[in-house]
Every structure is written in structure tokens, then in C-alpha cells.
Chain A
Amino acid sequence: MSKKLFMFEKPLGMRDTLPFLYEMKKRVRQAMADEIEKWGYEFIETPTLEYYETVGSVSAIADHRLFKLLDQQGHTLVLRPDMTAPIARLAASRLYKDGNPLRLAYNANVFRAQQHEGGRPAEFEQIGVECIGDGTIAADAEVISLMIAMLKRAGLQHFTVTIGHIGYVNALFLEILGNEERASVLRRFLYEKNYVGYREHVQSLPLSSIDQKRLLQLLSLRGCGMMLEEAKEVIHCEEGKRAAEELAALLRALGMYGVADAVKFDLTLVSHMSYYTGILFEVYAEHVGFPIGNGGRYDDLLEKFAHKAPATGFGIRVDRLIEALGESEAEPNIECIVFSQERFAEAIELAAAKRREGKRVVLQHISGIRDIDAYSKRYPSMTYLLGSKEKE
């Protein structure tokens, strides 16, 4: 027999989900979706394929990580690399009409091609919300609190949300360096997490020692709310002070939500999502080396779809969250009824009755089973309806 090449192979980074993992995902997804709905957000769906020119180019995912293909007319399409850009498109075109806040939620797979180590997922599920048209700090506090509530509902215990403010970083760089070009060089070091390079670059700049010190001080602006006072002193311009004040107001609001313990601040946080304009955040869990979710304010994104509106939101990566939660014991409780031909009708009736009670029931003809011992081990409960019906 000739074996086909790639018979069991999948394209790089694509994965099957087997029943065990599916059950876990479903539980976690349902718990979080339920929490989202309780906060009044409404779920939507958008297409898997979008135009490269629109959604593809405004999404913050690097070009070489997009899956691209052509439609029959030769237009370039992308598999959606994130959900924020499609929702911005949708909101700008259809839903965001009267200028009042809009609360939308999504649960969808996104696609990002991987370069390192082939096994990393290139398709993964995200669940999250977007709050569009509300520029208040109360909205930032709401989405962060909702994210924390969702993670708790999913059963995650030890996690930290780190909050930064890209407006603060930009204002500080612009204030000291004078132009956007020089600022972007420094921002790149932060983005690449290269603090050694950042320090070396700052020391090589023709700046006063005070300004150099302020730039270096940025690297230590992290910790709890106390740090925000220091942040306010480091910066002089109006815009920067306002950013620091926004963070302080956010902390007060999170305090009212009762979640201030779960957050920390870090002004060096810059995201790979380049569309963020203000407060931004990432969430980390113990024993998982990568962030399990992130979000922030993106006040300029909707403008790209000809409809200016402030917005904020987040996405949680379901696969990493499940990794953080660890394997759970709970197995799906599926019963099995094995029947022979004579008692087919009776078996159908019994299965229907159990299903009406909400049970999950497998109905299996005895002739279809090859090894009854192995088969019966698969289900916690077995009922046999075999042979001619006995008189009872």
C-alpha cells in the first residue's frame, strides 16, 4: 500500500483539538462568555477572511506573520490576525451610529504565522471585548475589571495584570528628544525589551545629564500605585502629566471595583500592538512563560475606517489560559447503552428518556463493537440491553 506524503501532517502551526482538550476549552469558554454577557456585552462574529488592504494593513500584526491568499478577482485576502481590527471595521460601518458607547464581545480563532519552532500554534482562540465610543477612565477600569472577573470565573487564581501608558512614554520621549524619529529609536529598544541597548543609546545622546537621568529613570518606573507619584515628577509636559493622572484615576476606579490588588504598573510596557494610544495592559499567570492576554485603548483605530471614536478592549488567549489552569480531573460524564437488534426500540426509548434528563448518552449496536472489554472501559457507566426481552 502506498503511503501518501503528509497523510497525518497539518500545515505548520495548525492543530487538532481532541475531545479531552475540547471539553476543557468549552468549560473555560462558557464560564468566560457567561461573565461577559452578565456585564451587558453582546457577542458578534466577523468573517475569517478579510481584505489585506483594509483589516490586514491596520491590524498591528507584522506583515510577514499574516496568512495571505488571493480571491478569484485577484484581491489579496488575509486570515484575520486579530479581532480588534475587524470589530473596528464593523462598528464603524454598521453599529456605531449615534456616538453613544457600544459594548461588543467576541470569541474567535485568529491566525498568525510562526517563525520559531514549528510546533507553536499559528491558529488560536481568543475571547474578549471591545468597548467602543467611550473615552472615560471608567471604561478602561471596566474592561480591566471584567477581564479579572472572567479569569477568576475560569478558575485562575494567581495572576497579575500589568498596566502601562503608551501616551506617557511617547510624551516623555518627545519632551526630551524633540522629534518623533529619535523617539521611535528609543521606543524600539523598549519594544525589543533590550534595556542594555536602551541605556547605551541614552548615554550616547547629546543630552544634559538631567535629561539622561530622566530617560533612565523610566526603566525603574514600575511597581504599585506609589510609583505613579514619581512618574508625575519625571515628566514636565502637560500631556505626560495627564497620562500619569489617568493612571492614578484608573487605580482609584479599580479600587472601587475591588480589584486593585490584582494590578501593578509598569511604564516601560509597550505592546507589539502598535495601535494602542493610551492605557494598555498585559496579564500574566504563574507557570506560563507568555502573557495570557492583553489589551488597551486604541483611540485612533476607528478613524482608519472613516469614523473617529475612542475605544478600549482586550483579548484572552484561551490556549494559554488553559495551560495556566492545568489539567483538570473532571471527565465528561457520558453513559453508554449497548443493545442487540431485538431490543433496538427499547434502547432508543431509554436513551431518549435519559437525554431528556439532560444526560449525555451513547447508543451503540452490539454488532458494531469489535472488542467489548476495551469499549466498556471508555465510559464510566454502561447499560446492556441484549438478547430477547426477559419477562420481569
Chain B
Amino acid sequence: MLTVAMPKGRIFEEAVELLRKADYTLPPEFAESRKLVIEVPEENMRFILAKPMDVVTYVEHGVADLGIAGKDVMMEEERDVYELLDLKISKCHLAVAGLPGVRMNQIAPRVATKYPNIASSYFREQGEQVEIIRLNGSIELAPLIGLADRIVDIVSTGRTLKENGLVEFEKIADVTSRLIVNPVSYRMKDEAIDRLVERLSAVIPQ
């Protein structure tokens, strides 16, 4: 049996749609369910629903054989898992944003983000020394009330930025969802995983 860690929220529906396209029979109430563990005996699979940031952790520890995780999470967490497929769903990108016309504060440059590792290595690569402030959500708030001059966050349509009067300054990386696999499962359950990879690759949008 394969255990798959699915990210709750934004990616979930697109991931379920992709699985259905690959001909996996998933129960119709899959998306509405409040259960955290959903068994699908017909496919010999079990799905667990986790916070997107935690999917990589479940997979690294092997309690889930596979998972679907955004590249943003992979970059932030740097876990020891196989990144097997680019599912090409939930496309967005990581970007640096802020209020238009506002320069980085020269005395105390601050960057607010949900991704402290990505932000810190990005600014270090540019040779800029900044203070990274970790927030858990509503990152756009930070420049509006003066917590930080810049934010590092994912941008998909750009609507949230626009509605809050923010603009994108630099793009850090493109982000899509990936199929990730625990290294032990990849070897112990190789046949089942290869089959899943094959079925999914056939339906990944090009």
C-alpha cells in the first residue's frame, strides 16, 4: 500500500484533478471531507491531508511514501527526499515585492517572509545584508504598516499584491508542484511507485 501526503488548500484540488485524470478512482466526497486520513482500498492507497509546509516532513520521515509539495516548500525545507516529477500544477513564482518607489532602508533593511531560508540565501547571494522577519501569513501587511520594506512571497495572479498597492521587484524562482518520494519507499516499493509515476507522467500538462 502507498501512503500519499496531500497538501491542504490551494494545491489540493488541482492535485486531485490530476490523479483523477490519471485514472485513479477517488471517492467523490474526497475534497469536502474533513478527515485527515482517507483510505482508498480500490487503489491500495491511503491519503493523508497535511499543511503544505509539512508534506515534506511526513515524506522525509517515511510515514508517507509519497507527497505532493510545491517547489517553494522544497527550496525552503531542503529535505532528503526524491523529487521525481514536475506535476506542472499550481504554477506561481517566488518574488520580492514592496511598495512602489520605496527604497530599501539603508540603516535597518528588513524583509518579511514565510520563507526565511529562501529569503536569506537570496539576499546573501546578492551580497545584501538584511534582517529576515518570519511571518506565518498575510505577508503583504508587513510593508503597509512599516514592519519591512520588502517581502518575499509566492505570487500567482498578482491580485493580492495589486489590491494592497504592492508591486513585484524581482523574481526569485518559478514554482510548480512536485511529486516527492521517500528514499526508502523509492527502493522498497519501487514497482508501485514506478507505476504511479508512469500514470501521472502520461497526464501532466505540457
Min CB distance, B117 to chain A, in Å? 11
Task: Please indicate the chain B residues that have their CB under 8 angstroms from the CB of A116 in the complex.
Answer: 79
Q: A196-B178, A222-B190, A264-B190 are in contact. Are A291 and B83 (CB under 8 A)?
A: no
CB <8 Å contact, B82 and A193: yes
Task: Please indicate the chain B residues that have their CB under 8 angstroms from the CB of A160 in the complex.
Answer: 187-188
- Cβ of A162 within 8 Å of any chain B Cβ, yes or no, is yes
- Cβ of B113 within 8 Å of any chain A Cβ, yes or no, is no
Task: Please indicate the chain B residues that have their CB under 8 angstroms from the CB of A264 in the complex.
Answer: 187, 190
CB <8 Å contact, B188 and A284: yes
Task: Please indicate the chain A residues that have their CB under 8 angstroms from the CB of B184 in the complex.
Answer: 284-285, 288-291
Main secondary structure of the interface of A (DSSP, over half): mixed
CB <8 Å contact, A289 and B61: yes
Task: Please indicate the chain A residues that have their CB under 8 angstroms from the CB of B187 in the complex.
Answer: 160, 162, 264, 266, 282, 284
Min CB distance, A273 to chain B, in Å? 14
Bound-complex Cα distance A160 to B189 (A): 10
How many residues on the B side are at the interface (Cβ–Cβ under 8 A)? 20
Contact code string A265-289 (vs B, CB < 8 Å = 1, else 0): 0100000000000000010111111
Task: Please indicate the chain B residues that have their CB under 8 angstroms from the CB of A119 in the complex.
Answer: none
CB <8 Å contact, B188 and A286: yes
- Cβ of A195 within 8 Å of any chain B Cβ, yes or no, is yes
CB <8 Å contact, B182 and A223: no
CB <8 Å contact, A193 and B188: no
CB <8 Å contact, A196 and B86: yes
- Cβ of A333 within 8 Å of any chain B Cβ, yes or no, is no
CB <8 Å contact, B188 and A289: no
Q: Which residues 152-206 in B have Cβ within 8 Å of A in the complex? A: 178, 182-185, 187-188, 190
Which residue on A lies nearest to B59, using beta carbons?
Answer: A289
CB <8 Å contact, B83 and A195: yes
Q: A289-B60, A289-B63 are in contact. Are A223 and B85 (CB under 8 A)?
A: no
- Cβ of B62 within 8 Å of any chain A Cβ, yes or no, is yes
Min CB distance, B15 to chain A, in Å? 16
CB <8 Å contact, B83 and A194: yes
CB <8 Å contact, B83 and A196: yes
CB <8 Å contact, B63 and A195: no
Contact code string B36-75 (vs A, CB < 8 Å = 1, else 0): 0000000000000000000000001111000000000000
Task: Please indicate the chain A residues that have their CB under 8 angstroms from the CB of B147 in the complex.
Answer: none
Q: Which residues 286-332 in A have Cβ within 8 Å of B in the complex? A: 286-291
Bound-complex Cα distance A312 to B200 (A): 39
Task: Please indicate the chain B residues that have their CB under 8 angstroms from the CB of A291 in the complex.
Answer: 183-184
Bound-complex Cα distance A121 to B122 (A): 30
Min CB distance, A281 to chain B, in Å? 11
Task: Please indicate the chain A residues that have their CB under 8 angstroms from the CB of B81 in the complex.
Answer: 193
Bound-complex Cα distance A194 to B188 (A): 19
Task: Please indicate the chain A residues that have their CB under 8 angstroms from the CB of B188 in the complex.
Answer: 160, 284, 286
- Cβ of B84 within 8 Å of any chain A Cβ, yes or no, is yes
CB <8 Å contact, B80 and A193: yes
Question: Which residue of B62, B86, B183, B190 is within 8 Å of A193 (Cβ)?
Answer: B183
Min CB distance, A270 to chain B, in Å? 12
Task: Please indicate the chain A residues that have their CB under 8 angstroms from the CB of B84 in the complex.
Answer: 195-196
CB <8 Å contact, A223 and B190: yes
CB <8 Å contact, A290 and B62: yes
Task: Please indicate the chain B residues that have their CB under 8 angstroms from the CB of A286 in the complex.
Answer: 188
CB <8 Å contact, B62 and A289: yes
Task: Please indicate the chain A residues that have their CB under 8 angstroms from the CB of B86 in the complex.
Answer: 196, 200
- Cβ of A197 within 8 Å of any chain B Cβ, yes or no, is yes
Bound-complex Cα distance A11 to B49 (A): 35
Bound-complex Cα distance A48 to B187 (A): 34
Q: A284-B184, A288-B184 are in contact. Are A196 and B190 (CB under 8 A)?
A: no
Min CB distance, B66 to chain A, in Å? 12
Q: Across the A-B interface, give the 9 residue pairs with the lowest CB-CB distance, nearest first.
A: A289-B62, A284-B184, A193-B82, A289-B61, A196-B86, A162-B187, A194-B83, A196-B83, A284-B187
Contacts A160-B187, A284-B188, A289-B185 known; 12 new A-B pairs at CB < 8 A: A162-B187, A194-B83, A195-B84, A196-B84, A196-B86, A196-B178, A197-B83, A284-B183, A284-B184, A284-B187, A289-B63, A290-B184
